[in-house]
Amino acid sequence: MKSLILAAGYATRLYPLTQNFPKPLLPVGGRSIIDRLLADLDTIEEIDQHLIVTNHTFYDHFKTWKETCHYQKEIILIDDGTVDNASRRGAVQDILFTIEQRSLREDLLVLAGDNVVDFSFRGFVQFAKAKRSSCITCHHEPSVAALQKTGVLEMDRDGRVLAMHEKPQQPPSHWAVPPFYLYRADDLILLFQALAGGCGADAPGNLAGWLCKHATMYAWELPGKRYDIGDLASYEQVNRLFNAQPVNF
């Protein structure tokens, strides 16, 4: 299995912090966002390599960061060739670009590089192995306003995904879908049909939403909290929280 961290966005809502610096390398409680993710991923036995897709503008920042890393598993940086927000590929195309560039034929754990969590993804990997299918993650979200700004899940009593809806005005459930996915090797070839099949290119949830109509998928409920760093206010809030409550896996 490979892990893939999506880090090719330009984070315009965090300007000026990210005008010349990638959001995943911003510090949270004394450690970068991406290092917080990798500290966990590197301990998962099934993962043998970490892939990080970034843009051409921020590639050198990640190259410098990589020189200071001391993880057990190899880190591979992938330059998607874009130079600004206007030319960005979008998360879906970055996933497909990475699969194609690396000729991937293994299970792929995909995570957004701008989220901080207080749990391990080890349980997610074990869940997907037990289900023998591609899987998504979910958490209960009581706020309808929040659900209208994210992916929303429909699933049966066994946790099988029936449908996903991106930013629905009338959410069909209170199950929000964060940007963490595990794609089985057998399903990777299917993903290349997604864009032609009407899948949106930007939000990573669009790809999982398309796949659930063409393959069996299950949903894993997060055992803890995730914090999406989308703007300056959320970044400041997460920093205050993790300065007071460091994460230990």
Q: What is the pLDDT along the chain (249 residues), one digit of tens a residue?
A: 999 999 999 999 999 999 999 999 999 988 999 999 999 999 999 999 999 999 999 999 999 999 999 999 999 999 999 999 888 898 999 999 999 999 999 999 999 999 999 999 999 999 999 999 999 999 999 999 999 989 999 999 999 999 999 889 999 999 999 999 999 999 999 999 998 888 887 888 889 999 999 999 999 999 999 999 999 999 999 999 988 654 443
pTM (global) more than 0.75: yes
Distance of alpha carbon 128 from alpha carbon 218, whole angstroms: 8
Distance of alpha carbon 198 from alpha carbon 201, whole angstroms: 9
pLDDT at 245: 57
- Cα pseudo-dihedral 192, 193, 199, 205, rounded to 10: -50
CATH code linked to domain 2-243: 3.90.550.10
Distance of alpha carbon 108 from alpha carbon 230, whole angstroms: 25
pLDDT at 166: 86
Read off the tokens for 237.
Answer: 């809030």
What number of residues does the chain have? 249
Distance of alpha carbon 215 from alpha carbon 93, whole angstroms: 20
Return the domain boundaries, the chain: 2-243
